[in-house]
Amino acid sequence: MEEKKSSASGEGVGLAAATAVGLGAIIGAGIFTLSGTAIALAGDWALFSFILVGLVAIVVALEIGELGTLFPKASGASYSYAYEAFGSELGFITGILLYFSEAGSISVIALGFGSYFVSLFGLPALGDGRLVAIGLIAVLAAVNLGGIRKAARADLGLVAVKLAILLAVVGFAILFSVRNGSATNFLALTTPASGVSGIFGASVAVFFAYSGFQSISSFTSSVKGGARTAARAILLSVSISMVLYVLIAFSLLALLPASGFVINADPLSFALSASHAPGYLISVVDIGALVATASASLAVLLGASRILYQIGADGLLPRIVRTYDARRDVARNGVLISAVIGIVMLYAGNVFVIAAISNFGLLFSYLIATLALVHFRRLGRRGTFSVPGYPYLPLIAFIAILSFMIGMPREALVVGTILVLSLIIAYYSLREYKEKEPVKIRFFN
């Protein structure tokens, strides 16, 4: 296995490109695919879900940023921090859950790409876009195999395009609301038909939308300036995304009352069509959505491959996942395996079901990351980037994430629980196979 090289100085991914990777994953995952789903579930309360969850996501981003400065060469995101803090058992469970969540995220975002593609080109024969999504994942796997710097530069260009298109949507929504008096639609605050569970469901969908920033922490060692620059990129990407999410949620509610939204993978086109927007604007937004979802899929596929590589490098998975191209700074087999799993998971259900299942592992990993931060602070270890308001902000984030998990859809909780139990059995089976001695600890005298 070839060792990875740090890019604390010299050639590597700069702050702008690293931030673009995070923005690429966050914006494509949320605004273009799940914003309408959040409104369909929570009604007018969805706007507040974006704000509340955004604030929690900023705290989690700060935690990931600090942990990243403690372990600048780790490429496993939350998995690496769980492994370093609590050892191989909890590390194994967290890592596999996080990995499958990232692989599931690829499916969600690629499905959004397929839906917009079918809408833009009027190809009903392609159904719901799953075949298009398969093609996208295959192409992006090839791009990732070209190397991380090439992938990051591609993301930087794609992010600039989609930001311009999102601002165009906001501009049209402002003009529409002034002309039709719909700017205060969100103030109705009607309770959704599904009640409080709908609001929780929306929060879960929204948290998924913010989750892309972990992609940055998976290649901290490749960022110019090292972990501190990566931490700044994480915070910047989440903060910028929060502003954009709130603007787009407001815009969607101005274009169409909350009761008009349904669970689908192309909410911007849906809202613009319902408000009789000019055809050229809908086409431009569809093109922007293709760019956004392609960018997000690229970033998440990159993150997933490096998490899988790190789990293998720590000896918790077979050698096949450790294949690493040092010249291109890419985990080759990690990319290929992640692409295959992403394609398979396209058939796990609709966009919300896949996102909910994926979210279980993400939320679990954030819980463990919070505990890892507390663990290292108790040992007196602090990174060059520190979470402000410790321990209060991490405590608030921990309670909020736990609440989101409890409020997840039943199928996601069932699948998540089965996965955790299966991983526990798998871990101890492997340990028994390797004839490792059990660890015995006395908690009380």
Residue type, 87: G
Using one digit for the tens of pLDDT, what is the confidence trace for 153-186?
Answer: 666 677 778 788 888 999 999 998 888 876 666 5
The pLDDT of residue 5 is above 50: no
CB 332 within 8 Å of CB 145: yes
- Give residue 183's pLDDT: 64
Q: Name the CA dihedral angle for 362, 137, 34, 51, rounded to a multiple of 10 degrees.
A: 50
Residue percentage of the chain with pLDDT more than 90: 26
The pLDDT of residue 244 is above 80: yes
Residue type, 123: L
pTM (global) more than 0.85: no
Average pLDDT over the chain, rounded to an integer: 83
> For residues 289 and 220, what is the distance between their CA atoms, to the nearest angstrom?
28
The pLDDT of residue 4 is above 60: no
Local confidence band at 369 (pLDDT 50, 70, 90 cut-offs): very high
83 versus 145: the higher-pLDDT residue is 83
Range from 8-12, 22-26, 104-108, 223-227 carrying the lowest mean pLDDT: 8-12
Q: Of 162-166, 261-265, 374-378, where does the model show the most confidence?
A: 374-378
Domains of the chain, start order: 15-433 (1.20.1740.10)
